[in-house]
Structures are given as C-alpha cells and as structure tokens.
Amino acid sequence: MTELPFWKTKSLEEMDQREWESICDGCGLCCLNKLEDWETGDVVFTSVRCRLMDGTSCRCTDYENRQATVPECIQLTPSAVDEIVWLPPTCGYRLLREGHDLYWWHPLVSGDPETVHQAGISARGHETVSETDVPVEDFEEYVVDWPWKVGEAANGPPAGDAGPERSDTDLPDPARTVTG
Ligand code: SF4
Ligand code: SF4
C-alpha cells in the first residue's frame, strides 16, 4: 500500500518547517500589489509587482534579506492563512486549508518546479511592472483579474504526464512562504 504524502495526512499546523515551506508552489501571485476597498473590504490584484520580484522568473531576488527592503512582506503562518482574504484560489496553503488537494502542477505532485508556470497560473508569463516604476496613486490603472482564475489548467497538464509524484522525504528546497 502506498503511503499518503504528508500534505494529505497533516494539517498546516502539524507540518514541520520544511514541509510547510514546500507547500508554496512558487506562483509569485502574492508578490503582486493588492488594492483594498476600505468600505467593502474587497481586494483586487494589480500587475504591479513588489520591487524585489524578478519580472521574468517571478522569484524574490533577495529572499533571505527581504524584510530589510520590504518590511511589509508578510510571513505566512497557519493562522495568517485563515485571516488573509486575498490568497489566490490556486495557492497551496489556501487549497489545503479549504480541504482540497494540491493541483497537478504543484511541485510536490509533479516533481518539477516548472509545472506551476507551464500551467499558466503563475505570475510568470504575465506582463507586470515594478512598483518602483509606478506611483502608488496610479496602481488602480493596473488592476488585473488573472490571479483569481484557475481556468482550464485545472483539467490537467497540457500534454502527457506531469512527472513522478514525490514523497515527503524528497522535498524541494524551500521556496517562499510569504505574501506581499
Ligand atoms: S504563498 Fe501561495 S500565492 Fe504565494 S507564491 Fe506561494 S503558493 Fe503562490
Ligand atoms: S517574497 Fe516578499 S519581498 Fe520578496 S518579492 Fe515577494 S513580496 Fe517582495
């Protein structure tokens, strides 16, 4: 009998640090600036990326020291997952918290960190602009809805299989567990 992977047997609270970090699929969507309607609490995404986010790779360019440059970069915790209303529907933490499984493109499922980008649900491949190039008062002009969409990617990989399934003893290096 095949042993179930850790994300199917453990709650977010029960995961160790390495397991927790690996739930982030590296989509980069939380590194986009959001706008909140102060009256309704509604949140919209913009295509204005954090100053430390590389627009091509979608990775944080100074993850270890990010707080020095971007003190508002939030460290995700299980309780923060419950409180943050804008985690995208594809976010691994949100999916697990809501009782869903990870999608096929998640690196833990596919064994390949590129599948999240091949699925088209990450920030990579979308036109973004650095917050250093846009005045805050102009962020409204950059509102986008694609971070909220899963689309046809949910149906499976575009061609063939997505690679071998990983066990919890073969986790990738920590990616990011932060929100911006
Ligand atoms: S924390 Fe969630 S939304 Fe942010 S990069 Fe990781 S998987 Fe994507
Ligand atoms: S991890 Fe934080 S500091 Fe780094 S790009 Fe994302 S929001 Fe910015």
Q: Strand, helix or coil at 45?
A: strand
Pocket residue to mutate for ligand 2, from 54, 62, 66, 132, most atoms within 8 A of Cβ: 66
What pLDDT score does 32 carry? 97
119 in contact with ligand 2, CB cutoff 6 A? no
The predicted-structure confidence for 61-114, as pLDDT tens digits, reads as follows 999 899 999 999 988 999 999 999 999 999 999 999 999 999 999 999 999 999
Cα atoms in the 13 Å half-sphere on the side-chain side of 58: 22
The predicted-structure confidence for 111-167, as pLDDT tens digits, reads as follows 999 999 999 999 998 999 999 999 999 999 999 999 998 877 878 886 654 444 444
> Do residues 29 and 46 make contact, with C-beta atoms less than 8 angstroms apart?
no
Take atom 4 of ligand 1 and give the residue whose Cα is closest. 30
The reported pTM is 0.86
121 CB neighbour count, 10 Å cutoff: 26
Counting ligands in written order, the one closest to the CA of 70 is: 2
Give dist(CA 73, CA 102) in Å, integer.
24
Give dist(CA 152, CA 104) in Å, integer.
12
